[in-house]
């Protein structure tokens, strides 16, 4: 009699026909009787010694253990047994991994690390960028030894200076107004006064946009060894505007500055994505033709940061008090006097 099936236990699907029975052992001569005796003895614990060889074989088939049933199911499903503590055996389908996907993930992590460490390596951004830091060797090799080591005094409102830049391509004269950005103009004038800019190049050239200089390293990543606080933006960018370069971080201006080459640059320089503006210090009063010549020199292109390939150096940069104009830009916006 077939034992009843336990409820809740999964078993292999049952076929429509009778359970297969292994053929009885056979032999020649007296081996037939010994085989019959062996079958009867093997099944004796279940059915007694009165079973025929066929009945004994059927009884053995019914005595398949649970472990044998599971082994059969694992063979069909592809599940591989896995040994765990306590002697139990569990199974889990071997999913493996794709070496190509693993290689892509490692490459993505490496690229992210490079971008985090050295900033944007692709260049091409329209905004002038700069860093206040620089190697001590680069800083000490510029100036007469009296250059500031921290943020210098601000330029007083209404105080105006004339800065003259001599280059092999010609002379550029700037009017620097303390009323526009007291901190930035005070810093710029102090660096000019100690001859910090003598020998430094215009390292970034973007025709129709800006020329940028003031980095003692000549790469766009250097500065005077310190940074200054931000000034609010006063005015708009137009052809001839002189402003401080910076990074996207607050209080990141140092020694780098730029000259705007076109009125159209105002849209890019005041883009809403720019949180910290470029402090306007003044404007070029003569020599914009020289700035255009410098901008036309070979550069590395938009995708490489527009680095000058044959940079033009500022051979001499000096500062002097500007002549008092009849009306300063700050006073032109004053409210008219009340009529008598």
Q: How many CB atoms lie within 10 A of CB 135?
A: 12
Q: Determine the pLDDT at residue 37.
A: 40
Closest CA relative to residue 147, chosen from 56, 226, 204, 229: 226
Which pTM was predicted?
A: 0.60
pLDDT at residue 7, as a whole number: 54
Within 10 angstroms of residue 251's Cβ, the number of other Cβ atoms is 14
211 contacts 229 by C-beta, under 8 angstroms: no
pLDDT of residue 42: 41
Q: How do the pLDDT tens digits run along the chain, 340 residues long?
A: 555 555 555 555 555 555 555 554 444 444 444 334 434 444 444 444 566 777 766 666 666 555 676 676 676 666 565 555 555 555 555 555 577 777 777 877 665 554 443 333 333 345 676 655 555 566 778 899 999 999 999 999 999 999 999 999 999 999 999 999 999 999 999 999 999 999 999 999 999 999 999 999 999 999 999 999 999 999 999 999 999 999 999 999 999 999 999 999 999 999 999 999 999 999 999 999 999 999 999 999 999 999 999 999 999 999 999 987 554 444 443 434 443 3
The crossing angle, in degrees rounded to 10, of helices 31-42 and 53-62 is 40
**Residue 220 pLDDT:** 93
pLDDT at residue 255, as a whole number: 97
The string of DSSP letters for 163-212 reads EEEEETTEEEEEEEETTT-HHHHHHHHHHHHTTTTTT-EEEEEETTTEEE
């Amino acid at each position: 009699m077939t034992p009843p099936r336990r409820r809740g236990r999964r078993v292999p699907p049952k076929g429509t026909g009778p359970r297969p029975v292994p053929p009885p052992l056979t032999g020649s001569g007296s081996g037939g009787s010994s085989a019959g005796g062996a079958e009867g003895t093997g099944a004796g614990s279940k059915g007694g010694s009165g079973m025929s060889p066929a009945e004994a074989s059927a009884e053995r088939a019914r005595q398949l253990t649970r472990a044998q049933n599971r082994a059969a199911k694992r063979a069909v499903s592809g599940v591989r047994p896995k040994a765990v503590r306590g002697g139990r055996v569990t199974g889990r389908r071997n999913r493996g991994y794709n070496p190509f996907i693993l290689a892509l993930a490692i490459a993505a992590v490496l690229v992210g690390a490079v971008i985090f460490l050295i900033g944007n390596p692709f260049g091409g951004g329209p905004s002038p960028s700069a860093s206040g830091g620089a190697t001590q060797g680069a800083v000490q090799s510029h100036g007469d030894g009296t250059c500031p080591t921290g943020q210098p005094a601000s330029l007083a409102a209404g105080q105006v200076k004339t800065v003259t830049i001599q280059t092999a391509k010609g002379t550029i004269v700037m009017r620097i107004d303390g009323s526009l950005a007291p901190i930035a103009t005070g810093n710029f004038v102090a660096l000019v006064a100690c001859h910090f800019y003598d020998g430094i190049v215009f390292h970034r050239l973007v025709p129709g946009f800006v020329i940028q200089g003031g980095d003692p390293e000549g790469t766009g990543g250097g500065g005077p060894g310190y940074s200054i606080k931000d000034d609010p933006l006063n005015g708009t960018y137009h052809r001839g505007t002189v402003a401080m370069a910076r990074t996207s971080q607050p209080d990141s201006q140092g020694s780098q500055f730029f000259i705007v080459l076109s009125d159209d640059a105002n849209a890019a320089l005041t883009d809403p994505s720019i949180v910290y503006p470029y402090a306007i210090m003044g404007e070029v009063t003569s020599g914009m033709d020289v700035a255009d010549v410098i901008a036309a020199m070979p550069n590395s292109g938009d995708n490489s940061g527009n680095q000058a390939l044959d940079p033009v150096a500022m051979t001499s940069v000096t500062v002097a008090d500007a002549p008092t104009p009849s009306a300063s830009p700050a006073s032109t916006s004053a409210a008219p006097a009340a009529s008598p």
